[in-house]
Amino acid sequence: MRILRYLLKKEYLQIFRNKGMLPILFAMPVFQLLVLSFAATYELKQAEFAVVDFDRSILSHELVQKLQASDIFKLNAVYFSTEHALEEMEAGNIKMLLTIDAGFEKNIKSGKSAPIQITVDAVDGSIAGLIQSYSSSIIAEFNAEKLGKVKMSSAAVVLPKSVNIIPSNWYNPNLDYITFMVPGILVVLVSMIGIFLSGMNIVREYEMGTIEQLNVSPIKKWQFMVAKLVPFWTIGMFDLCIGLALARFGFNIPFLGSLVTILTIAGIYLIVIQVLGLLISTLTNTQQQAMFIAWFLMVIFILMGGLFTPIESMPLWAQNLTLANPVSYFIKIMRMVLLKGSGWQEVYKMVLVLVGMGALFLGIALNRFTKTSA
Amino acid sequence: MRSFRGFVVKEFKQIYRDKRTIVVLFGMPIIMLLLFGFAIRNEVSNVEIGILDASKDSFTKELIQKIDASDAFQVTSYLNSYDEISQVFKEGKVKEIIVFESSFENKLERKRVANIQLITDATDPNLANIVQSYTSKIIRNYVVEMNAQEGGNSAGVQLNFKMMYNPELASVNLFVPGLIAIILMLVSALMTSISITREKEMGNMEILLVSPLKPIHIILGKVLPYLVLSVINVIVILVLSKFVFQVPFEGSYALFFAESILFILTALSLGLLISSITNSQQTAMMIALAGLLLPTVLLSGFIFPIESMPFPLQIVSNIIPAKWYLIIVRGIMLKGTGILFLLQETVILLVTTLALIMLSLRNFKVRLE
Amino acid sequence: MSELALKVEGLTRMFGDFTAVDNISFEVGQGEIFGFLGANGAGKTTAMKMLTGLLTPTSGKASVSGFDVYTQADQIKQSIGYMSQKFSLYDDLTVHENIEFYGGIYGIDSRLLTQKIKEMISNVGLQQVERSLVKSLPLGWKQRLAFSIATLHDPKIVFLDEPTGGVDPITRRQFWESIYEAASRGITVFVTTHYMDEAEYCDRVSIMVDGRIDALDTPGGLKNQFSAKSIEDVFIQLARSAKRGEDAVI
């Protein structure tokens, strides 16, 4: 055990003496968490639109005004030709174009159908969908108002049927993305530290030449590995705690579940990720290679982990791949425990999978480690 | 000139001999494009939903059938009371409950309006959004259909939508161009950031500096092989986008390649800058990977629209080069935009690249003295 | 103790079809300074790796300080010291921290360790730089530090792999003073080197050619045997017939 103590002391000395790394280890995760958590949202805050109004009547004006009255639609300009307006859309200056045909007012007042067209920049399908939803509701409201008046004056009008769609979001009534994203982003940040650094440090000893000296000494392989894992584990956990504190007090994210549960599982998860980094380093010769492969895996884990797009939206084979993705498990557990208040009962199966992965990685890493030194 | 050529040749050889790295540099982008192109979607399929139908009349039955028939949904539970909803959500499988009010068909006939409530499990707001959006669309389409059937005399505003550039609202058209940007940015910045620091760590830098090569030559020499590599990557990615993912390509190929080369240079210079501020490979890599990954993915408009972000973040997004390239690429591929409308973005990328190179050069020179 | 420091019998190491070390046998007594010479590619480094537990032999027997290399690797590690070509010091740790680290690894208890660190700093003359990073030390100082660290835990035998590369002759001479000093304390020194003049400082010298030991005797004995004026001559004569390595004349 004394050996371990000396190994650890050396590792910590080396880490904290590396002035360049310190901001990356501590400041960067915090900074990114604070800034990026706000970025992930599909809310439609504002959509600029243009109008080509061939009617230019009071009613058509009112229609445009009604759209503007919503906080979302902002009138960019009124054009006299559709081509011109579409050019603006191509240039990205407007997201939506409202075209009102001539005879609009007359048709409505006489109970006939008054067609209008909304052209939407649909490059971003989600935003386009939202624009469609919102504009539909606003127009429907307008319709109801105007037709109500018309009905009173003419009994022969037949109103179309319409259905009111009332959305209701449970557990997250405001569709607050932050609550959803923060735990996920936190996991990603901490994982990056975990996977990259432990493994790289081992490769560094190879590159520096000190590995030989360690190999002829009485240091056992397991002591060597533990000494490589522990320091970054403590740093990762530290970052995680700061992140959780920020989440709780800075972002006001509910903490329905038990903190102890989260921290325990986090500890396990971090070891699993680090051992994966270790495993990768046993497969490579240089720091560079180790980093690439670790990064490559990390990007896949993150993008396929259900953080940015739902796992349910993936094709079946991709959903199956998720079963082998440690990051996705931990993101899910974090969300379940923090936001829904789930306890061990609900998550123990996933924790077991994580432990299983860790054991597998460790086994392979140890195996390769012994071979290369023989 | 000859020493420069020799240097560039050495750089090429060093890279192309490192088999593992080559596999990663070429294989990675392809694998990532394929994986993410298929897996990163905003469309859903077979999402489990439940129905709480207080009317159970022919209208609701037909509508429910329509919803079930769509690829997106699978009706798996029929609830009898509001109280059951909580339990169903807790089990975690059902993502939405559609609630029809009583005497639905009747109300539609007489009052011409009836209510449907869409209750979603919004612990995943992404999913909730998508699900709600889809359900609404199906319902609206059905109502329009129904109105049309009953007689053309529907009074009032007839709203017609036209979805430009991406009529199917396919998210793949949004994401694949984005993937091109992400992949290029990350791979290029990574490459150059380690290339120089590796030279420094190995101590070969001094040898280079006492040679006839000027610092600008060294920088260019380091950048050139990766430029070639990245261009090959762009071609491969474009081919895959077109033939595997069927992303439209409305604009000019020449413009696309020109802009892509510009962006690659921007990314490469970013990597250069990173390597000029640190001597350690490890630090350079950590900055390039951990420092660039999330900001590029989140702030460039790749997945989450920039217009949706809080205003301060929208400002910050302006310094993410990928943001500008994304506008360019999406414009060319989906809208067929020409250089005229993309002038602003192009100039920004150009200026950024030059600034990065200047900064790197300056840092580089300072380090040596 | 009449126990042999090293006893090697028919030691062989193959890499696939290639025989790096071919059936070598020799003995080294306690307190001896044993020079292990050979051209590049002759098999010196491989042989030394087998003796230090870094590589398992393909066949043959070897015992280090009485411990068998196959079955008692742990005991061997505790009783040997090692100094590699690269000195294996941590550039980003101070002199003091390096000594403390290696001392602790070899199980020297803390009180004794503090004392030994003090002794070493004064013996090697490192007072000024005790708290400086090793990175800032000149090569000669690093060399002395690495050697002291290798002998810190009073090992029975210390293995030195080309320890004097890159330093000037005076520094080399001083280094050999430390080697003598260690030997006089009873530590066996097993050293590989390229410098033929250093071979003269050893008690006995062996020369490896193509994986075999082609010569083994005292420096004087070798010069007689090969009718040579210096070890360098002996070496050149042997190396001429070598099939492997840079010095091979085909």
Between B101 and B2, whose confidence is greater?
B101
Contact A204 B286 (CB under 8 A): no
What residue type is B147 in one-letter code? N
DSSP per-residue string spanning A74-142: EEEEEES-HHHHHHHHHTTS-SEEEEE-TTHHHHHHTT-EEEEEEEEE-SSHHHHHHHHHHHHHHHHHH
Query: How far is C32 from C188, CA to CA, in rounded Å?
Result: 5
Q: Are B40 and A308 in contact (CB under 8 A)?
A: yes
Residue with tokens 């994401």: B175
Contact A120 B163 (CB under 8 A): yes
Query: Could you report the per-residue pLDDT of A262-312, keeping only the tens digit for each?
Result: 999 999 999 999 999 888 888 877 777 777 788 888 888 988 888 888 888
Q: Which of B115, B138, B164 is the last residue of a domain?
A: B164
Contact C52 A373 (CB under 8 A): no
A176-180, B191-195, B250-254, C41-45 — which is least confidently predicted?
A: B191-195
Please tell me which of A166-170, A233-237, B158-162 the model is most confident about, judged by mean pLDDT.
A233-237
Query: How far is C249 from C231, CA to CA, in rounded Å?
Result: 19
Closest C-alpha among C102, C93, C166, C96 to residue C134: C93
Chain A residues whose beta carbon lies within 8 Å of the beta carbon of residue C159: 216
Q: How far is C103 from chain A (nearest CA, A)?
A: 9
- Which residue stretches of chain A are H helix? 2-17, 21-22, 28-36, 58-69, 82-90, 104-109, 125-153, 177-208, 210-216, 221-245, 259-282, 287-303, 316-322, 326-335, 344-373
Query: How far is C156 from A81, CA to CA, in rounded Å?
Result: 96
Q: Which of B164, B180, B198 is the last residue of a domain?
A: B164
Query: How far is C147 from C36, CA to CA, in rounded Å?
Result: 17
Q: Which residues of chain C have pLDDT under 70?
A: 1-2, 243-250
Question: B176 and B126, same structural domain?
Answer: no
Query: Could you report the per-residue pLDDT of B307-363, keeping only the tens digit for each?
Result: 888 889 999 999 999 999 999 999 999 999 889 889 999 999 999 999 998 898 888
Contact A216 C91 (CB under 8 A): no
Other CB atoms within 10 Å distance of the CB of residue C14: 14
Strand partners, B118: A167, B98
Chain A residues whose beta carbon lies within 8 Å of the beta carbon of residue C105: 3, 6-7, 217-219
Strand partners, A97: A50, A119
Closest C-alpha among B210, B168, B130, B178 to residue B305: B178
Question: B187 and B101, same structural domain?
Answer: no
pLDDT for B154 equals 64
Chain C residues whose beta carbon lies within 8 Å of the beta carbon of residue A18: 92
Half-sphere exposure of B91 (CA within 13 A, CB side): 12
Q: Are A122 and B167 in contact (CB under 8 A)?
A: yes
pLDDT for B346 equals 94
Chain A residues whose beta carbon lies within 8 Å of the beta carbon of residue C82: 212-213, 216-217
DSSP per-residue string spanning A325-361: -HHHHHHHHHHIIIII---HHHHHHHHHHHHHHHHHH
Contact A121 B165 (CB under 8 A): yes
Other CB atoms within 10 Å distance of the CB of residue B106: 13
Question: B185 and B141, same structural domain?
Answer: no
Domain coverage including residue B193 = 2-39+171-368
Chain A residues whose beta carbon lies within 8 Å of the beta carbon of residue B128: 169, 172, 175
For chain B, the straight-line distance linking the first and the last C-alpha, in angstroms and rounded, comes to 25
Query: Could you report the per-residue pLDDT of B279-288, keeping only the tens digit for each?
Result: 777 788 788 8
Question: B213 and B122, same structural domain?
Answer: no
Task: Determine the 3-state secondary structure of C207 from DSSP.
Answer: strand
Any idea what the CATH number is for the domain that residue B123 is in? 3.40.1710.10
Contact A287 B158 (CB under 8 A): no
Question: B247 and B176, same structural domain?
Answer: yes
Task: Determine the 3-state secondary structure of C107 from DSSP.
Answer: coil
pLDDT for C2 equals 54
Query: How far is B323 from B296, CA to CA, in rounded Å?
Result: 8
Question: B361 and B222, same structural domain?
Answer: yes
Task: Determine the 3-state secondary structure of C12 from DSSP.
Answer: strand
Contact B158 A136 (CB under 8 A): no
Give the list of residues 6+ apart from residue B107 with CB closer than 8 angstroms, or none.
B101, B113, B114
Question: B35 and B107, same structural domain?
Answer: no
Closest C-alpha among C183, C207, C155 to residue C36: C207
Q: How far is B187 from chain A (nearest CA, A)?
A: 9
3-state SS, chain B, equals CHHHHHHHHHHHHHHHHCHHHHHHHHHHHHHHHHHHHHHCCCCCCCEEEEEEECCCCHHHHHHHHHHHHCCCEEEEEEECCCCHHHHHHHHCCCCEEEEECCCHHHHHHHCCEEEEEEEEECCCHHHHHHHHHHHHHHHHHHHHHHHHHHCCCCCEEEEEEEEECCCCCCHHHHHHHHHHHHHHHHHHHHHHHHHHHHHHHHCHHHHHHHCCCCHHHHHHHHHHHHHHHHHHHHHHHHHHHHHCCCCCCCCCHHHHHHHHHHHHHHHHHHHHHHHHCCCCHHHHHHHHHHHCHHHHHHHCCCCCCHHHCCHHHHHHHHHCHHHHHHHHHHHHHHHCCCHHHHHHHHHHHHHHHHHHHHHHHHHHHHHHC
pLDDT for B368 equals 59
Question: B350 and B205, same structural domain?
Answer: yes
CA dihedral C240, C242, C247, C248 (to 10 degrees): 90
pLDDT for A267 equals 93
A216 touches C at CB < 8 Å = yes
Query: How far is C244 from A306, CA to CA, in rounded Å?
Result: 59
Q: Are B344 and A93 in contact (CB under 8 A)?
A: no
Task: Determine the 3-state secondary structure of C5 from DSSP.
Answer: strand
What is the rounded average pLDDT of the residues A81-110? 90
Query: How far is C161 from C83, CA to CA, in rounded Å?
Result: 6
Query: How far is C211 from C42, CA to CA, in rounded Å?
Result: 5
Chain C residues whose beta carbon lies within 8 Å of the beta carbon of residue A10: 90, 93, 97, 101
pLDDT for A374 equals 42
For C134, phi and psi rounded to 5 degrees? -60, -30
The full length of chain B comes to 369
Contact A159 B155 (CB under 8 A): yes
Chain B residues whose beta carbon lies within 8 Å of the beta carbon of residue A124: 174, 305
Q: State yes or no: pLDDT of A325 exceeds 90.
A: yes
Kindly state the DSSP code that residue C132 receives in the 8-state scheme: S
pLDDT band at B239 (very low <50, low <70, confident <90, very high): very high
Query: How far is A224 from A251, CA to CA, in rounded Å?
Result: 40
State which residue of chain A sits closest to B335, comparing Cα positions. Answer: A90
Query: How far is B283 from A21, CA to CA, in rounded Å?
Result: 6
State which residue of chain B sits closest to A167, comparing Cα positions. Answer: B118
**Pair of tokens at residue C80:** 């040997």
**Pair of tokens at residue C97:** 């921290």
Q: How far is A145 from chain B (nearest CA, A)?
A: 10
Query: Could you report the per-residue pLDDT of A297-311, keeping only the tens digit for each?
Result: 888 898 888 888 888
Spatial strand order of the sheet with C157-161 comes to C80-83, C157-161, C188-192, C33-38, C204-209, C212-217
Question: B177 and B74, same structural domain?
Answer: no
pLDDT for C246 equals 53
Question: B56 and B33, same structural domain?
Answer: no
Q: How far is C59 from chain A (nearest CA, A)?
A: 15
Closest C-alpha among C208, C230, C190 to residue C27: C190
Q: How far is B213 from chain A (nearest CA, A)?
A: 26
Chain A residues whose beta carbon lies within 8 Å of the beta carbon of residue B153: 112-113, 158
Q: Which chains touch B (3 or more CB pairs under 8 A)?
A: A
- Which residue stretches of C29-132 are H helix? 44-51, 73-79, 95-105, 110-124
Of A185, A189, A309, the CB nearest to B41: A309
- Our count of domains for chain B comes to 2
State which residue of chain C sits closest to A210, comparing Cα positions. Answer: C88
Residue with tokens 């994580």: A354
What is the rounded average pLDDT of the residues A83-88? 92
pLDDT for C248 equals 46
pLDDT for B137 equals 85
Kindly state the DSSP code that residue C167 receives in the 8-state scheme: -
For B119, phi and psi rounded to 5 degrees? -100, 120
Query: How far is A101 from A53, CA to CA, in rounded Å?
Result: 7
**Pair of tokens at residue C59:** 């066949």
Question: B231 and B114, same structural domain?
Answer: no
Kindly state the DSSP code that residue C133 receives in the 8-state scheme: B
Q: How far is A207 from chain C (nearest CA, A)?
A: 11
Question: B154 and B29, same structural domain?
Answer: no
Query: How far is B163 from A118, CA to CA, in rounded Å?
Result: 9
Of C56, C104, C106, the CB nearest to A374: C56
pLDDT for A152 equals 56
Query: Which region, left, alpha or beta, applies to residue C120 given φ > 0 means left and ψ of -120 to 50 means alpha?
Result: alpha
B285 touches A at CB < 8 Å = yes
Query: How far is A235 from A273, CA to CA, in rounded Å?
Result: 14
Q: How far is A144 from chain B (nearest CA, A)?
A: 8
Q: Which domains does chain A have, with CATH numbers?
A: 9-41+173-373 (no CATH), 47-149 (3.40.1710.10)
Query: How far is A243 from A258, CA to CA, in rounded Å?
Result: 16
Q: How far is A198 from chain C (nearest CA, A)?
A: 17
Strand partners, A119: A97, B162
Contact A340 B154 (CB under 8 A): no
Q: List b or e across A170-197, with b for residues whose CB sees 16 or more CB atoms inside 10 angstroms.
A: bbbeebbbbbbbbbbbbbbbbbbbbbbb
Chain A residues whose beta carbon lies within 8 Å of the beta carbon of residue B115: 163-164, 166
pLDDT for B276 equals 81
**Pair of tokens at residue A16:** 């904290």
Query: Could you report the per-residue pLDDT of B181-218, keeping only the tens digit for each?
Result: 988 888 887 777 767 667 666 667 667 766 777 777 77
Whether ipTM exceeds 0.90:
no
Kindly state the DSSP code that residue C193 receives in the 8-state scheme: -
What residue type is A355 in one-letter code? V
pLDDT for C249 equals 43
State which residue of chain B sits closest to A342, comparing Cα positions. Answer: B90
pLDDT over 90 percentage in chain A:
29
Chain A residues whose beta carbon lies within 8 Å of the beta carbon of residue C93: 10, 13-14, 17
Q: Which of B164, B182, B206 is the last residue of a domain?
A: B164
Q: List b or e across B240-258, with b for residues whose CB sees 16 or more CB atoms inside 10 angstroms.
A: bbeeebebeeebeeebbee
For B325, phi and psi rounded to 5 degrees? -65, -35
